[in-house]
Structure 1
Amino acid sequence: MIVSLVEANLAAVVIVIIFLKYDLLSTLYGSVQIFLVLQLTYVILILQGVNKMVDIVTNRVFDTYNRFSPSNNHHTESISTLSTLKRFSRDQKFKRASNREADIKAREEQLFDLKTNKPEVVLSRRRPFMGWSCQNCAAKSRESLVTKTTETLALRNILDYQLPHASNGFFQRTFSHLHQAYTLKKYDYPQVADLVLKDERVVQAIVKATDEQIEDSNKRGDEEFYQLLLGYNEKRSRKLLYNMRSTLSDFLLRFTSWVLYKLLPCFLTSVVVHPGQVEMVKKAGQTGLPLVFLPLHRSHLDYILMSFVLLNNNIKAPLVAAGDNLRIPFFGSLLRGLGAFFIKRRIDPVMGRKDIIYKSVLHTYMNTFLRAGHNVEFFLEGGRTRTGKPCMPKYGILSVILESFMDGTIEDALLVPVSINYEKLVDGNFVREQLGKPKEMETFKNAMAGIWKVLNSSYGMMRLDFNQPMSLKELVKTFNTNGRTSAINGLSDKKSLKSKPSNSSIYGTDLVCNENKLLVESISKHIIYDCAQSTSVMSTNALAYLLLTKYREGVNIKELVVALDDLRNDMMYVRKDIGFTGDSIDVINYAVRTLGPALVRKEKVNNEDIIKPIAILPNVIELSYYSNTLVTHYALESVIAITVQLVANHRGEVVHQDLIDNVLELCDILQYEFLFCKPCQSLEQTVTSCVEDLLYRKRIFLFDEDEYELSESRMRCRRLAKHLVEDDEPSEFYPQKIYMKNNEKEAVEYLNHLVMTLLPLVETYAVTAFTLDKLVGRQLIESELVKDVLNELKMQLDMGTVKYGESVSVDSIKNALRLFQRWGILECHSEKKIRLYYLAESQDDSESIETVYDKVNKFRQSFQELP
């Protein structure tokens, strides 16, 4: 009897322990489940003849259930009897039936409202999936790798690593990050450097370089000297390769991942990714095609965090193209082991000729590791952005990958644009460089000092967004087809930018076929545009933008909350994701703390909280860095707003064609600052669509809908007649579409807000054009010319003719010089690292410079009264 009693107790205890171990009691929340547990226990005990234990075990089970049972506002009393369980079950059924009836009634009322009232536009509250591939250029890619459930997924912080439920051992619990690094998927990273020097391309380059050197010498026919030069070039090619190569190591990647899990929380609150985007990239990696990651470049931390995120999601880490300025003691070796291969930013000539050996070694090395199955990552912008805006692309490395596809080295490649953003820039600001100071070179001492400073600071959140992978093969086919069609129909855009590559770049060499250069430029600009559009907006970006464009003199926090709510609604309307949540007042207070008192000041005035930007030099340059993420988004709308003020007559009338022509002219002026549309789109059509959006959504114009539709119909007839009938009738014969400016307060304030978005840039370009007068009859090296423009900007800022401190910017000055060079106003001679500027012969007079100045300055003349 005693044995039976013990066995019965053991059986009951085992059942309860099993339910406790797998947390089943916490999930059994209905009378049926509890009843089955009790009945099973009763049967076991009765079979053993121990009826006295029934009450004890029953009480234990109910106590355990009550301890693990989730709380319920409608049912708070303890569940202690079977009758209570049954009553609870009936209540739940009644509640579900009542909810169904309420839902049916609500749907019927909603249908009635839809029939009788005009429905309001309700924006989806789901998180938008940014980064779809282009419908025009990559339609097949757009249909793959993305599921419909992607938008419902919540963001994930990589730093919050959670152990799997089954991994509950002592080692896993105590050393969770070490366990994570150990269990990561293992990939092979073959070393291919030894194969490069045997490649026919490198061998031919060495022979060609030796032949050219013999031709330049006075020892033609000297076989001994030829062999000496040949040996020297072979040794040089080997040295170039071993200075360039990556030594990517799986062990070092895992070890660094463990270290980063410990260090990153010291200065970052989170490293956020979208699980749907990660899953999409993971599926792309399973295709067997090389993945080409193309992120925007903001910080030295970009490539480390990229590899960290990919590795911890079991995606093969890429080889990363890094500038040779990072090849410094210790850190250079560390980066090499993490996948970096080092390339020269400028390829200097050798003995007065192109360095064909270096170019062939680089080209062959990239071909070889792509053929070996490596993924690759590089920054199309070349270097980090100094302004917060995406830089215009450099075409070198992408041209090599395109050539690898064209010559059949790789079957295809998947291009993955990547957007990266930080709440606060980890590398510090670029104020010194924007004020004309030279860039400080990377050294071991500076790197250690920078790391120490970073570890003792707080930089908030980092957000990484993967765009949908695009097939290089599909892009090439699309652009080639569209290019041929445009040429046949005579539709090529005469205003399109034909950039002139430098002879010191990979792109400007004979390794890239001339017919492929336009293709490389189109793909590069498309990727930069996609990355800019899919960059998440951080709280610091939103606050800095609102303060610089609407509230430079300060604003009370209540009004700022309303403005931030409006901005968030605008972002939701265009399906642009924002990197913050919560009430706007909390977001503002957090952003103010993150930016710090050097950039944004919070003070009490008449018992009211006032937020005020530090809009003076040099602080305003750093503040504009954060603002420029949103300036890129509103750039085209700002161009339209500036032009509306320019072309409107005294009655407030705006002629449509005048508006479009002047918008295109200002877009041409700012072509090195922004990509206003994709290469596969027509800029004029994009501008027209944007005007219509402002017309309907923001009501910047007054119009009668019937009259507007009639005007639209007339304009369509005019365009059709122009194509069908060849005549010399003046354009005034056709009806003109005319808008009337809306002078209501809300519309005027919105237009002024848009105007101030780009007005600082227009000031920079106008003053740069004005300073060209100093080049009449003389020539200046670039550094001296830029210094003269900076001094002129500062002087006019003090006088009040330049109104915005952020207009003082070296990057914008250099972009303006590039523009004037393209217009044929300036000419530039480059030798080694020195660029010499002088006026073109036909423009070398003050009258020509005044014409250029007037062409730019007209866009800012109407805004002298703005704050």
Structure 2
Amino acid sequence: MTDGRDSAPDLQILGDQITFQPSGFVEPSKTARGEGREEALMKNMARFRSEPLQFLREVSLYISGTGWRAYDDVVGQPIFYSGFSEHIKSEIMSATLLQSKISQLADMRVAVEEKEGLLNKQEKDFQAKRAQRRAVLIQSLQEVAENLTDNMICKFESKTFIRGAYYLVTQLLLRAYHQGIHVSSEEVLRLRSVAEEAARKKQSIIFLPCHRSHVDYVSLQLLCYRLGLALPVVVAGDNLNFPVVGSFLQHAGAMYIRRSFGDDQLYTTVVQAYIDVLLQGGYNLECFIEGGRSRTGKLLPPKFGILSFVLDSLLSGRVEDAVICPVSTQYDKVVETEGYVTELLGVPKKKENLADFLSGGSSVLSLRLGRVDVRFHEPWSLRGFVDDQLTRLSKAPSALNIDWRDTKNAFVRQKLLRTLGYKVLSDINDVSVVMPTALIGTVLLTLRGRGVGRTELVRRVEWLTDRVRAKGGRVAHFGNAPLSDVIERGLDVLGKDLVGVVEGLAEPTYYAVDRFQLSFYRNMTIHLFISEALIAAALYTRVKRGGGPSIQDIPYKDLHDQVLFLSSLFRGEFIYSGEGLAVNLERTLAGLEADNVIHIEKDEEGNITKVGLSDAERAAGRENYDFYCFLIWPFIEASWLAAVSLMGLTPPLGQTDDIWIQVSKAHTSAQLLGKTLYHQGDLSYFEAVNKETLKNSYQRFEEEGIIQTVRSRDPRIPPRLRLSPDWRPSRDDATGGLVASGRLWDFTEKIASSRREGKNRRDGATVSTRVVKLTDELGRKLFEDAVRPDDGKKGKKGAPPRLSEEEALSLDRSVREQKRRRRLENRAHL
């Protein structure tokens, strides 16, 4: 599984030397394990039971800090010295930005106390008392800021600690991922060169990896340590700051921040001051562009929290420049996927604690999860990116009266931030490596039938490998190993819990045991084929009708409109080409025609008039066309399910005032509806009840004004929603039942037109009767629950069913702002 693009050798690190080896895992020979030779980082280290002398020798080298283990002369700014934390803390506390905010907050409080009469202006010594009170407030705020800073900052203090931490973590990680960590030699050497230049300019490298596992930041820290790069400060949620482990991670590079800042101006300013200090000092930084870990296997939409702080540092002039380095980390098998499935099915996420951490670590030692592949995109200048974007925006024709050079303008900043986030995601996709487990999972979930024989599995994996490379993707490579051996290895890593095999037949036959968990690996390939999948789903609106080819052909305008609708629907799910729909659609159609999947009819002027399946594709049983449909159908099902569930949010007959439903309860109700429909045969894919995909659908519906959401300033009150009055279906005056008509119904039917037609249902009749009745019944329970008195469990406030005056005003502003934003963005809408 190698070609010209994938032929670059992996990096082999032996002792103090960096050399090259053929790409992929190569089982070491017996002579290579002889005494006197150190094991490579990419392979397991010596174990006490099997190689006690080698084990003791390795430990002694780490303790003594011999050679590269001393972690001296690293590329980057000085770290791991006594007093590092105090130096950083002093820099933060003396920052002009922070001191100005403290003075401002003290003045605001003094003004409040004056207004409330706590400070009497009529007293003779009023000014002295006022100054004294202000000084006390400033001192108090200084102490709070110091405490926040101390809990937040990473503490690179001891080389002895980091040497021991490196050895311990490497032992744990490489026992679980027994075939090691692999990188591209070309990318790593390029990164070292960039790091040397950044160090000379005292600029930070900001690593922006994807996030699928807790192993992500561990593997990147190990690589930076082993390659002699200054370790990055890793932005981490304060949920990881629990006893023992929290301190360990903080000394290894973690900076802890809250998941939500709320209206805490002081905390927000402390975070900004810390980011400023890191970037001004040229310290490397790492944060996850997606925020949390992806539970679905594909990239999540970008989160802009830390990126907004970084961009503010640059645009304000407090920082001259920084280097952006997108990073892709891929796994043969992600250790947390089983836990992800339970979360996605609605089981609440457990809070991290020491007991689970230790028990999880011990179980990891017995796993054989294959290998980890880390790929680095070519780093680029953040300043250069911003300047380029501002130039493009100022030159582009626009009806909006905006000065694109005004970087203080909130809309300009938001535009830059959004473009930055999606560029990073696109760069990550560009360098991602498709692992054998992802190829196998994708094939198993995109074939009809119960299972697939070994010969057919190899043939389809080979076809998929060729398609991945044709689309510009990278496939993990394994030297000269035959494809059948690589597949066998992938099946072994996935294990019998995910992929079963039926023996005693004419040939071994494989089948998906846990389709939900296996979809995680399928989703690792979908970004490469999203354009083809959208076209296939749009064409399916005609193909599902059956009949002859002429009936199944689709006019180009209808195809274009459905692709536009679906791509807008999934704007929060997938990363699209930045070239625009027209260019991308034309190129993808040409590619499908060249692959003999479709035929295209054109008029005399060369314009496309009709599109349909080719005769060759029909003769082949539609296997390639079906592949693209199977990729997108679970997501179409999930969006359809979310849209159907909205109908249940229609107020009951006779309800005069608006009742607001708790968002989390609406999601849970939609998930319950989906599970019911799946087991009753009205839903084809159990993955459609995936909590994250449903949440993304609701988010898109909110962006389009289909639902309205209110978030209280009181953090104890959860977010609430209602179905927008413009989208509410009508009810039958006699029965009170929902009427299957109107704007929301038409919207749901438009999604359903590309939905897979199962054997046990017919879309229109089923949805308009039994399914609508079921969602109405679940909706009725939501309304009853919303007006039920709060039970006050665990000291939490309930979600008030009606809005306060302040919330109503906030909603009006939000609705107006959403309409303005949709107009400014000038993008396709649902």
TM-score when scaled to structure 2? Answer: 0.75
**Is contact 2:208-2:326 (8 Å) kept?**
yes
1:237 aligns with 2:120: no
CA distance in 2, matches of 1:809, 1:780: 21
Q: How does 1:827-866 map to 2 (within 5 A)?
A: 827-831=708-712, 832=715, 834-846=718-730, 847-860=742-755
Q: Deviation of residue 849 (structure 1)?
A: 2.8
Deviations 1:752-790 (A, max 9, x none): 121111101111111111111221124311221111111
Give the aligned partner of residue 581 of structure 2. 683
**Is contact 2:44-2:171 (8 Å) kept?**
no
Deviations 1:527-557 (A, max 9, x none): 1122123211111111111101115510111
1:790 aligns with 2:671: yes
Give the aligned partner of residue 207 of structure 1. 103
Give the aligned partner of residue 524 of structure 2. 629
CA 538–442 in structure 1, closer or farther in 2 if over 3 Å, else same = same
Q: Deviation of residue 812 (structure 1)?
A: 0.7
The DSSP-based 3-state class of the residue aligned with 1:608 is coil
Give the aligned partner of residue 337 of structure 1. 251
Q: How does 1:345-424 map to 2 (within 5 A)?
A: 345-348=259-262, 354-424=263-333
CA distance in 2, matches of 1:865, 1:151: 57
1:475 aligns with 2:385: yes
CA distance in 2, matches of 1:865, 1:490: 51
Which residue identity lines up with residue 727 of structure 2 in the other structure? Answer: Q
CA distance in 2, matches of 1:786, 1:475: 38
Give the aligned partner of residue 42 of structure 2. 159
Give the aligned partner of residue 246 of structure 1. 154
Q: Deviation of residue 373 (structure 1)?
A: 1.6
Which residue identity lines up with residue 157 of structure 2 in the other structure? Answer: S
CA distance in 2, matches of 1:838, 1:174: 61
Which residue identity lines up with residue 127 of structure 1 in the other structure? Answer: D
CA distance in 2, matches of 1:345, 1:465: 28
Report the identity percentage: 23
Give the aligned partner of residue 495 of structure 2. 596
Deviations 1:479-522 (A, max 9, x none): 11221222348999xxxxxxxxxxxxxxxxx9994421110110
The DSSP-based 3-state class of the residue aligned with 2:475 is coil
The DSSP-based 3-state class of the residue aligned with 1:737 is strand
Q: Deviation of residue 361 (structure 1)?
A: 0.8
1:485 aligns with 2:395: yes
The DSSP-based 3-state class of the residue aligned with 1:651 is helix
**Is contact 1:647-1:658 (8 Å) kept?**
no
CA distance in 1, matches of 2:327, 2:388: 22
CA 162–437 in structure 1, closer or farther in 2 if over 3 Å, else same = closer
Q: Deviation of residue 793 (structure 1)?
A: 0.7
CA 553–366 in structure 1, closer or farther in 2 if over 3 Å, else same = same
CA 693–306 in structure 1, closer or farther in 2 if over 3 Å, else same = same
Which residue identity lines up with residue 247 of structure 1 in the other structure? Answer: K
Q: Deviation of residue 404 (structure 1)?
A: 1.7
Picking from 470, 473, 479, the partner of 1:573 is 470
CA distance in 2, matches of 1:280, 1:324: 33
Q: Deviation of residue 238 (structure 1)?
A: 1.2
CA distance in 2, matches of 1:530, 1:551: 33
Q: Deviation of residue 671 (structure 1)?
A: 0.9
Which residue identity lines up with residue 691 of structure 2 in the other structure? Answer: V
**Is contact 1:637-1:754 (8 Å) kept?**
yes
Q: Deviation of residue 426 (structure 1)?
A: 2.2
CA distance in 1, matches of 2:693, 2:401: 32
CA 272–123 in structure 1, closer or farther in 2 if over 3 Å, else same = closer
Which residue identity lines up with residue 493 of structure 2 in the other structure? Answer: T
Give the aligned partner of residue 205 of structure 2. 291
Q: How does 1:355-754 map to 2 (within 5 A)?
A: 355-429=264-338, 430-488=340-398, 513-551=410-448, 553-581=450-478, 582-614=481-513, 619-647=514-542, 650-678=550-578, 681-696=579-594, 698-702=595-599, 711=604, 713-715=605-607, 737-743=609-615, 744-746=618-620, 748-754=622-628
Deviations 1:72-119 (A, max 9, x none): xxxxxxxxxxxxxxxxxxxxxxxxxxxxxxxxxxxxxxxxxxxxxxxx
CA 693–200 in structure 1, closer or farther in 2 if over 3 Å, else same = same
The DSSP-based 3-state class of the residue aligned with 1:828 is strand
Which residue identity lines up with residue 372 of structure 1 in the other structure? Answer: G
**Is contact 1:126-1:151 (8 Å) kept?**
no
Across the aligned residues of Structure 1 and Structure 2, the Cα RMSD in angstroms comes to 3.1
Q: How does 1:78-89 map to 2 (within 5 A)?
A: none
CA distance in 1, matches of 2:379, 2:158: 25
Q: Deviation of residue 376 (structure 1)?
A: 0.6
TM-score when scaled to structure 1? Answer: 0.72
CA 216–623 in structure 1, closer or farther in 2 if over 3 Å, else same = farther
CA distance in 2, matches of 1:242, 1:489: 49
1:127 aligns with 2:23: no
CA distance in 1, matches of 2:6, 2:648: 53
CA distance in 2, matches of 1:753, 1:302: 30
Unpaired segments ≥5 residues, structure 1: 1-121, 131-149, 164-168, 349-353, 493-509, 716-735
CA 780–512 in structure 1, closer or farther in 2 if over 3 Å, else same = same
Which residue identity lines up with residue 587 of structure 1 in the other structure? Answer: V
CA distance in 1, matches of 2:568, 2:582: 12
Q: Deviation of residue 128 (structure 1)?
A: 6.0
CA distance in 1, matches of 2:471, 2:749: 36
CA 237–789 in structure 1, closer or farther in 2 if over 3 Å, else same = same
The DSSP-based 3-state class of the residue aligned with 2:350 is coil
Deviations 1:102-146 (A, max 9, x none): xxxxxxxxxxxxxxxxxxxx995451679xxxxxxxxxxxxxxxx
CA 714–742 in structure 1, closer or farther in 2 if over 3 Å, else same = closer
Q: Deviation of residue 845 (structure 1)?
A: 3.2
Give the aligned partner of residue 766 of structure 2. none
1:771 aligns with 2:645: yes
CA 861–303 in structure 1, closer or farther in 2 if over 3 Å, else same = closer
**Is contact 2:542-2:552 (8 Å) kept?**
no
**Is contact 2:711-2:720 (8 Å) kept?**
yes
Deviations 1:674-732 (A, max 9, x none): 01223xx2233122211111111x212235xxx85x75x544xxxxxxxxxxxxxxxxx
**Is contact 2:23-2:477 (8 Å) kept?**
no
Q: Larger Cα Rg: Structure 1 or Structure 2?
A: 1
